[in-house]
Amino acid sequence: MTQINQDFTSAAFRADHSCADCRLRPRAVCSLCDVDDMRRLEPLKYYRRYQAGQVIAWAGDRMEFVGTVVDGVAAMTQTMEDGRTQMVGLLLPSDFLGRPRRQTAAYTVTAVTDLLLCCYRRRTFEDLLLSTPALSSRLLEITMDELDAAREWMLLLGRKTAREKIASLLAILARRGGARGPDGQARIVLPLSREAMADYLGLTLETVSRQMSALRRDGIIVLEGARHVIVPDCAALVAESGGDGAETAPAG
C-alpha cells in the first residue's frame, strides 16, 4: 500500500501555507471566494504529500477527497482491456483533482514528481459547493476550461506536426510551471522522461529526441542535462507550437 504522509497540521506549516498568502490563489478553485468564504474554507483544508511514483488514486477505487495541486506534477492514465496504458492528462500547480458527487476515480493518478496537494474531504467539499456560490461558480469555470483544453489537445494530437507537439508541451510547461529569471528567460524542469513525453504526445522516443535536438539547434531552447530546459524567448517557442499561446494541457 502506498504510504502517504498526511501530518501537515502544525501551526508552523499552516502559517507557511495560509490561504491569504497562496501564490496559486488567482488560478485555484477558491479564486472567486471573498474574505468570509476563505475564513470558512481554511480550517477545513488539509495537505497530502506524495513522493514521485506514488499512486494518488487508482481508477475505479473510492476517492474520499478532492484537492488542488500546490507543488509538483501528476499524470492521469487509463488502462485498456488488453493491458495497454495511455497517459490522458497532466495535473500542474493550481489544477483541481477529483470530482464532487463521484465516489470513484475515473483515472489512475500518479505523482510524476514529489507532489503537495491542498485537500478537502469530498463530502465536506460537496457541502461547501451548496453553501458557497463563489466556489461553485469557479468549479464550473474550471470544468469548462478543461473541456476547451481537451478539445485543443485533440487538435494537437490529431493535426500538429511532431515539432509543433513538442513545442506546445514545452510552452504549456513554461507558462504553467516555469520559473522566470531576471533576464526574462523561462526555466523548466521537465516532469516527464523522453519516453513519457512520447507516450503522451503519440510519438516515438526517437522522434521526441530528434525534435528536442532540432529545437536546441535552432536556438528555440537550451538543454541543460536530461530534464532542464531554458527558453530564451517564449514568444518564439509559442510560434513553433503553431498556436497563439492559449494552449492548455488537459487536466483533471
Sketch out the chain's domains with CATH numbers: 11-148 (2.60.120.10), 160-240 (1.10.10.10)
Kindly give the pairing relationship between strand 96-97 and strand 85-91. Answer: unpaired
Using the predicted structure, report yes or no on whether residue 50 has a pLDDT greater than 90: yes
55 vs 22: which has the higher pLDDT: 55
Which residue in 179, 191, 27 sits closest to 95, CA to CA?
A: 27
pLDDT-derived band at 189 (thresholds 50, 70, 90) equals confident
pTM of the predicted model as reported, rounded to 2 decimal places = 0.81
Using the predicted structure, report yes or no on whether residue 207 has a pLDDT greater than 80: yes
Mean pLDDT of 107-128: 94
